[in-house]
Amino acid sequence: MKPHKTWKVLPHGEIEKLAENLYTVVGKLRMPFGETPRRMTMVRLTGGRLAIYSAIALDARRMAQLEALGRPAFLIVPSSLHRLDAHPWRDRYPDLTVYAPEGACVKISEVVAVDDTQFDLGDPSVRVEHVPGTKRRELSMLVDTPTGKTLVVNDLIFNLPEMKGIAGLGLRVLGFGPGHPTMPRAVVRKLVDDSEQVNAQLRAWASMDLERVLVSHGAPIEHPRETLLQLAAT
């Protein structure tokens, strides 16, 4: 889908509070195999600031709710495929610091000016990093909350809902599941250049006693350790 130049609101749900400093909202994109969920994650930082991971343009009521949580300070564009609403977000909040992965910086810069590929949000509870084995083209985010740790990943892991008919068959053929967490073959071929490094990172995440994993496309993974180890093994 062509990146938006203006604030264009596509279908989306309500802002959901996961923890005192962690919020998320899920939108929908029309794709060849039907509607695909897409997720934006918001983290409340020290000093009344917000970090926005994989931005979605929301309607006026939800944007008012978002702004009540804090001042948007950082826009994290986690990969070149998640540029859709980056430009209108920067236009709306010109003081945003835009972060992007080093390996996708050129592509993302075609849509929005990137400020840095090194990440310092000024809050020890949030860590943004390049995912090893992806040629520095994919970003993850680890958030400490009062109830535990949440890992936020982008396109490396999908957890699409079960789909029937032609749409479900097409997604299964392409390795997208659906109905369970997966690393789609089509995505892996494009994104991963060192599977051993990726598998090592999956195992490292599994050892962190995570509370949940938030994926950009699909439902949260509520049993992270078992899922991440299974993905590393396959």
d(CA 151, CA 178): 21
42 contacts 14 by C-beta, under 8 angstroms? no
The whole-number pLDDT of residue 185 equals 85
Question: Candidates 3.30.43.10, 2.70.70.10, 3.10.20.520, 3.60.15.10; correct CATH number of 16-233?
Answer: 3.60.15.10
The whole-number pLDDT of residue 225 equals 97
**What is the greatest pairwise CA distance in the chain?**
49
d(CA 146, CA 148): 6
The whole-number pLDDT of residue 187 equals 84
SS (H, E, C) 64-80: HHHHHHCEEEEEECCCC
The whole-number pLDDT of residue 88 equals 98
CA geometry: angle at 116 spanning 27 and 114, to 5°? 55
Name the β-bridge partners of 38.
27
Of the chain, the end-to-end C-alpha distance in Å amounts to 30
The whole-number pLDDT of residue 29 equals 84
d(CA 212, CA 225): 9
Collapsing DSSP to helix, strand or coil, 97 comes out as strand
Q: What is the mean pLDDT for each group of 10 consecutive residues in the chain (234 residues)?
A: 94 97 94 78 98 98 98 97 96 98 97 97 98 97 97 93 57 60 87 95 97 95 94 90
- The ranges assigned to domains in the chain are 16-233
160 contacts 217 by C-beta, under 8 angstroms? yes
DSSP strand pairing (139-145 vs 148-152)? antiparallel
The whole-number pLDDT of residue 193 equals 94
Prediction pTM value: 0.92
